[in-house]
Chains A and B, each alone.
Chain A
Amino acid sequence: MLCQRCNKSQATVHLLDIVPPDGEKRERHVCEQCAAEEGLTVQKHESIGAILDGFIKQSSKDQQSVDEVCPDCGLTFREFRSQGLLGCPRDYEVFSKPLAALIERAHDGATHHIGKVPARLGGEPSVHAKMVRLRRQMQEAVALEDYELAAKLRDRLSEIEQL
């Protein structure tokens, strides 16, 4: 379908206006450029599909990991790429290398969990999580010019680092 505004490009943005007074529906089909000119932006969330696509291009040379099979659930990385879902908890370990890049990208560069921990594992945050928290508190203390607190936090950080 051609763009109804410029009649040149392919229409890829499809709008449904509900027009007062009687709520009549009006469909319009325009190309991306015309949509942009009218001040409409096209929402593009980075879907898991898009992340995977980008990732596949990066790692397509790495055939070995693509055909690796999880001994627990039988999933291959190729299968994961096509469906976007893992087959069992162990997949995170089996495919840790190719998954790491994907996880980092999906989570704004994060690589470690710093939240809740099940009580059966002590309910305590991991060392990494503790350090991330302490660093953040230290930065906040500095921002508030509470240097005494900042120094204490720094000492606790170096204690943990020595462990």
Chain B
Amino acid sequence: MNIDDLTRQNGEWLRGEGPYADVVISSRIRLARNIAQFPFLSKADDSDRKQVYRLLSDCIAELKLGDDALVVDIDEAQDLDRQLLVERHLISRQHAEGEGTRGVAISGGERRALMINEEDHLRIQGMRSGLQLTSLYEEISRLDDAIETQIEYAFDAQLGYLTACPTNVGTGIRVSVMLHLPALKLTNHIEQMFRAAKEMRLAIRGLHGEGTDAVGDFFQVSNQVTLGRSEEQIVEEFGNDIIPQFVEYESAARNTLVKERTNLLDDKIWRAYGTLENARALSSDETLFLLSHLRMGVNMGRCDKVDLDTVNQMFIRAQPAHLQKLNGRRLGGEERSVLRAEYLRGALAARN
């Protein structure tokens, strides 16, 4: 597999399957790890970085990530390819924009992505569609165990896994769940959710994680506390308690809309559909806004013109780097809006 192949497929985590898939887009878990014998990256020189890169990429090559696994040297990669990986949620923006020897190993199906030399030496990430945290953690933890047989991690009996930033120390785990909450937004209840989340010491971020705004009703909820609680506790609390609560509120808001604001709801959904089907120029932000309403319509069974798979695909492929890859050239802002609208019209027409 190479990077260009990615543009032609959908990550498995975007299948729209799994528990609570109408509200929960995806589950993600990452573990932050460092090699004991090397300085963290802020104090690592070129030779340290290269050694860490070689050690970890050799070790990862031994793992069974699947025949179609892909290893990308981010330092050598082209800008557009880096951006493409960010748009697919396989690497962080920080990793794309960073400096020095660094990389990512991606498993077939894009279920796992291991970033080398991001903020920590290694960040092991796993992604699943819907709410599937327990089995995901088990899978990621096994991968962690396999790496640990070859690499000595920086670990302290009191503080646990040692990370470059003390806010990740302990388990080094971050559980993030991406939620689609259009009804809470439409009924003006989203601010309340944010306040509740803050009280539970959760972070809420936009579509692309750290440092991004919440656009188009998509929110990433993640834990901030990584010390003093076990991985299982954090994962269980998310899977059994926190996320089901968010889902329940969103579902209640959707029911209210159906019962009390049927016309308004259908108007939003079909207006989005009509615009996507007819517009001649669309910005990224407007596209997200429209696709959000369309997705809500599909999930609520109020629009059968398109299926969830197509909507998910549209989300990914309407992004700037994907559009440019699919068109095989760099595009200016206006041209991009025109070609985005063209792509979206085509995607909907193909379904009819």
Give the residues in chain B near A72, CB-CB below 8 Å: 39
Known pairs A45-B203, A86-B164, A106-B167; A92 contacts B159 (CB<8 A): yes
Give the residues in chain B near A18, CB-CB below 8 Å: 285-286, 289
Give the residues in chain B near A41, CB-CB below 8 Å: 191, 194-195
Give the residues in chain B near A111, CB-CB below 8 Å: 158, 227-228
Complex Cα spacing A121 to B34, Å: 16
Choose among A39, A40, A85, A116 the residue that contacts B231 (Cβ–Cβ < 8 A).
A116
Instruction: Give the contact stretch, choosing among B145-153, B296-304, B316-324, B344-352.
Output: B145-153
Is B43 within 8 A of A87, CB to CB? yes
Is B166 within 8 A of A102, CB to CB? yes
Choose among A40, A85, A92, A132 the residue that contacts B42 (Cβ–Cβ < 8 A).
A85
Any chain A CB within 8 A of the CB of B107? no
- Expressed in whole angstroms, the minimum distance between the Cβ of A108 and any Cβ of chain B is 5
Residue of B nearest to A129 (CB): B230
Any chain B CB within 8 A of the CB of A112? yes
Residue of B39, B145, B195, B285 ringed by the most chain A CB atoms within 10 A: B39
Is A87 within 8 A of B225, CB to CB? no
- Expressed in whole angstroms, the minimum distance between the Cβ of B258 and any Cβ of chain A is 19
Give the residues in chain B near A113, CB-CB below 8 Å: 156-161, 169-171, 227-228
- Expressed in whole angstroms, the minimum distance between the Cβ of A67 and any Cβ of chain B is 17
Choose among A51, A84, A103, A108 the residue that contacts B159 (Cβ–Cβ < 8 A).
A103
Interface of A is mostly: loop
Complex Cα spacing A116 to B164, Å: 18
Is A126 within 8 A of B158, CB to CB? yes
Known pairs A43-B198, A92-B156, A92-B159; A114 contacts B165 (CB<8 A): no
Is A117 within 8 A of B155, CB to CB? yes
Residue of B nearest to A75 (CB): B43
Give the residues in chain B near A108, CB-CB below 8 Å: 201, 225, 228
As a 0/1 sequence over residues 27 to 52 of chain A, the CB contacts with chain B under 8 angstroms (1 = contact) are: 00000000000011101010010010
Known pairs A43-B198, A48-B167, A92-B156; A110 contacts B229 (CB<8 A): yes
Is A23 within 8 A of B160, CB to CB? no
- Expressed in whole angstroms, the minimum distance between the Cβ of B324 and any Cβ of chain A is 22
Residue of A nearest to B164 (CB): A85
Any chain A CB within 8 A of the CB of B10? no
Give the residues in chain A near B167, CB-CB below 8 Å: 48, 51, 106-107
4 cross-chain pairs, A with B, having the tightest CB-CB distances, nearest first = A110-B228, A113-B160, A87-B43, A89-B154
> Contact residues of B with A, CB < 8 Å?
34, 36, 38-43, 119, 141, 144-145, 148-149, 152-162, 164-167, 169-171, 173, 188, 191, 194-195, 198, 201, 203-204, 224-232, 268, 271, 275, 283, 285-286, 289-290
> Contact residues of A with B, CB < 8 Å?
18, 20-23, 25, 39-41, 43, 45, 48, 51, 72-75, 83-89, 92-93, 99, 102-103, 106-121, 126, 128-129, 132-133
